[in-house]
Amino acid sequence: MNLAGKNVVYLGGFGGIGEKTCNEILEHRLQALAIFDLTLNEKILTQWQLKYPNTKIFYQKVDITEKSQIEEAYKVAKERLGHFDLVINGMGFLDDRRIVLTLQINLLGVINSCLIALEHMDKSKGGRGGMIVNISSVAGIEPTPIMSVYSASKHGVTAFTRCLAGPFFASSGVSFVTVCPGMTATTLINNMEDRTIYKFDIPPELDANKMKRQSVQVCAKNIVKVVQQAKNGSAWLLDVGELKEIEFPVMWIPPMDS
Ligand SMILES: NC(=O)c1ccc[n+]([C@@H]2O[C@H](COP(=O)([O-])OP(=O)(O)OC[C@H]3O[C@@H](n4cnc5c(N)ncnc54)[C@H](O)[C@@H]3O)[C@@H](O)[C@H]2O)c1
């Protein structure tokens, strides 16, 4: 997608990866950027508004665990912008001791946000199509025992995004893309020992505190590269500064009654 002149909605835009990705996206002469997030970061918002006076930039409060707030935010964005071309579901949460909240934010939040955004974007319902990018994780493509609840939630995001890219939404004109960052230097992954359900000693090869972390800046630049080139259904690994399309093995083809 060529970002120039586009209307973008970024969920979690004031987070570590979100802020840096919005910095990058804004360099592409957007028409508008709507930030949906739990809390407003007034300083960042004002900086963006001053630096990019030709882009309409605004904040809409959303607690992603509340479906009614997601519906309201998209309704307001639609009223203010007329349409949106790109939605990035970039909110997230990591504390495996809070199982319900992890699933509510990481999985249910993404599902609800996608389905509500689709109501506005679906060409077969009068929308203009576009792209929905869901931020999963390397933990959403490989079992990641140190963060097993998070890993389960992110596997759900990967699967759901790839499902939406299948034939049932083909007439929507919306493409669905999965982004899987590796460990990235934000506060999300600080003090991993306090975010795990395990009480025993963590073997060194599973110790997330010892895993290489890429810079947020590089991850953000690669997210923008994905947006610019991704095809419907594609999934992308963004790890230690590199960007690679993921090829999934086919594990099952449904046997059919003849
Ligand atoms: N940092 C990493 O190593 C890493 C690796 C892979 C994937 N990711 C994913 O990237 C995305 C961004 O992560 P990050 O590292 O920038 O984390 P972060 O904690 O810096 O940002 C998380 C964002 O989610 C928002 N959020 C949290 N709870 C919310 C709620 N209830 N309602 C609305 N918004 C809420 C926060 O306000 C924040 O803007 C997440 O989906 C995360 O799972 C991060």
Higher-pLDDT residue of 209, 89: 89
pLDDT at residue 210 is higher than 90:
no
Nearest CA to ligand 1 atom 17: 188
Q: In angstroms, what is the span from residue 11 Cα to ligand 1's centroid?
A: 9
What pLDDT was estimated at residue 228? 98
Amino acid at 137: S
Sign, CA dihedral 130-136-142-148, equals: negative
Give whole-number Cα distances, 94 to 36, 84, 104, 149, 212, in Å.
19, 29, 12, 9, 18
CATH number, domain of 71, equals 3.40.50.720
3-state secondary structure the chain: CCCCCCEEEEECCCCHHHHHHHHHHHCCCCCEEEEEECCCCHHHHHHHHHHCCCCEEEEEECCCCCHHHHHHHHHHHHHHHCCCCEEEECCCCCCCCCHHHHHHHHHHHHHHHHHHHHHHHCHHHCCCCEEEEEECCHHHCCCCHHHHHHHHHHHHHHHHHHHHCCHHHHHHCEEEEEEEECCECCHHHCCHHHCCCCCCCCCHHHCHHHCCCECHHHHHHHHHHHHHHCCCCCEEEEECCEEEECCCCCCCCCCCCC
Nearest CA to ligand 1 atom 43: 92
Residue-averaged pLDDT of the chain? 96
What pLDDT was estimated at residue 69? 98
What pLDDT was estimated at residue 11? 99
Q: What is the pLDDT of residues 139-188, one digit of tens each?
A: 999 999 999 999 999 999 999 999 999 999 999 999 999 999 999 999 99
The reply to whether ligand 1 has any atom less than 6 angstroms from the CB of 60 is no
Q: Which residue has the tokens 């909605």?
A: 9
The reply to whether ligand 1 has any atom less than 6 angstroms from the CB of 99 is no
**8 Å CB contact between 117 and 84:** yes
Q: In angstroms, what is the span from residue 93 Cα to ligand 1's centroid?
A: 5
What pLDDT was estimated at residue 255? 95
**8 Å CB contact between 135 and 20:** no
What pLDDT was estimated at residue 258? 84
Q: Look at residue 124 and tell me if it is in a domain.
A: yes
Q: Look at residue 122 and tell me if it is in a domain.
A: yes
Mean pLDDT, rounded, for 28-32: 98
Q: Which residues, in sequence order, are bridge partners of residue 239?
A: 242
What pLDDT was estimated at residue 243? 98
Q: Rounded to the nearest 5 degrees, what angle is found at the Cα of 44, between the Cα atoms of 38 and 45?
A: 75
The reply to whether ligand 1 has any atom less than 6 angstroms from the CB of 137 is yes
What pLDDT was estimated at residue 208? 80
The reply to whether ligand 1 has any atom less than 6 angstroms from the CB of 111 is no
Nearest CA to ligand 1 atom 7: 137
Distance CA 214, CA 182 (A): 7
Amino acid at 163: C
Q: In angstroms, what is the span from residue 246 Cα to ligand 1's centroid?
A: 22
The reply to whether ligand 1 has any atom less than 6 angstroms from the CB of 15 is yes
Binned at pLDDT 50, 70 and 90, residue 207 comes out as confident
pLDDT at residue 209 is higher than 90:
no
Mean pLDDT, rounded, for 83-88: 98
What pLDDT was estimated at residue 204? 83
Q: Look at residue 2 and tell me if it is in a domain.
A: no
Binned at pLDDT 50, 70 and 90, residue 41 comes out as very high
Mean pLDDT, rounded, for 106-113: 98
Q: Rounded to the nearest 5 degrees, what angle is found at the Cα of 162, between the Cα atoms of 38 and 135?
A: 30
Backbone angles phi, psi at 133, to 5 degrees: -110, 125
Q: Which domain range does residue 207 map to? A: 7-244
What pLDDT was estimated at residue 53? 98
Give the residue, out of 22, 91, 135, 178, with the most ligand 1 atoms within 8 A of its beta carbon, to mutate for a pocket test. 91
pLDDT at residue 199 is higher than 80:
no
Count of domains forming the chain? 1
Give the residue, out of 17, 88, 183, with the most ligand 1 atoms within 8 A of its beta carbon, to mutate for a pocket test. 17
Q: In angstroms, what is the span from residue 50 Cα to ligand 1's centroid?
A: 25
Q: Look at residue 1 and tell me if it is in a domain.
A: no
Q: Look at residue 258 and tell me if it is in a domain.
A: no
Q: In angstroms, what is the span from residue 39 Cα to ligand 1's centroid?
A: 13
Mean pLDDT, rounded, for 124-133: 97
Q: Look at residue 254 and tell me if it is in a domain.
A: no
Catalytic residues: 150
pLDDT at residue 200 is higher than 80:
no
**8 Å CB contact between 112 and 70:** yes
Q: Look at residue 251 and tell me if it is in a domain.
A: no
Nearest CA to ligand 1 atom 1: 184
Q: Look at residue 195 and tell me if it is in a domain.
A: yes
